[in-house]
Amino acid sequence: METIFIIDYIALGLLVGFMAGLLGVGGGGIMVPIFAMLFAMQGFESEGIMHMALGTSMATIIFTSFSSMRAHYKKDNIEVPMALRIAIGVLAGTFAATFVASYLKGLYLALFFSAFMSYVAYKMFKKTHYYHNVNPHNIVGNIASGTFIGAISALVSIGGGSLSVPYLMHQNFDIKRAIGTSAAIGFPIAISGTLGYLINGWNHTDGDQYTFGYIYLPAVILVSISSAFTAPLGVKYATALSTDKLKKVFGLLAVALSIKMLFSVI
């Protein structure tokens, strides 16, 4: 790998780590379009680039989400029983959806990613008022919601924060505790998604290029190591910022990533 790409992956990891801590997300929304761009520049086969971007992002989220989860746990921002209930559904939904993704063309995956991030931006800028929910979900509802969150997360390779944070707020969580619990939910999403993309893409394995399934190992290592340094910093700012500011940061990021992916497809 050329030195310029090493620098690019390290810089990406620093950004992803900070945003993971700040917003309670695994960073996949940032990584997928940038991975796709860097893989194209490195000369990977065009049809498999989007699948590899998704798989590599999922593998990296294992480390970014763990770092973010640990930092939030130290600050007591995680509702452990809720995270465990949702994780049951997440594991099944994420793994199953990787099989669907493996059969879709890269173009369709890219378009779905762009549309999803546009929806996320809309939700963040919309003036949504979360009133006290007198009928929050029971255990079955939490597991079912986790299955849905996991399935969508696998198709766009995210840690699920853009889905789990609003869901948790609807379950009467305040924004900071929702973000912390979302970070914990992102870890099982990443584990299950990585296994799925590894299995489904195994026939694309190329040891000479350090690709295993739909996972490009050098990118995972470089981004994961560098992200660990900035995730705690993101958690620190998440604690200090207001709810409105956090939502606007999230929304602006989603808009930028949606546009980036859309232009890459066009």
SS (H, E, C) the chain: CCHHHHHHHHHHHHHHHHHHHHHCCCCHHHHHHHHHHHHHHCCCCHHHHHHHHHHHHHHHHHHHHHHHHHHHHHCCCCCHHHHHHHHHHHHHHHHHHHHHHHHCCHHHHHHHHHHHHHHHHHHHHCCCCCCCCCCCCCHHHHHHHHHHHHHHHHHHCCCCHHHHHHHHHHCCCCHHHHHHHHHHHHHHHHHHHHHHHHHHCHHHCEHHHCEECCEEHHHHHHHHHHHHHHHHHHHHHHHHCCHHHHHHHHHHHHHHHHHHHHHHHC
Please tell me which residue, 189 or 25, carries the higher pLDDT value: 189
The 10s digit of each residue's pLDDT in 106-115 is 888 888 888 8
**pLDDT for 197-213, tens place per residue?**
999 989 888 888 899 99
pLDDT above 60: residue 86 = yes
- Residues 15-35: what's their mean pLDDT? 77
**23 vs 165, more confident:** 165
- Average pLDDT on 185-195 reads 91
Q: What is the mean pLDDT of residues 244-265?
A: 72
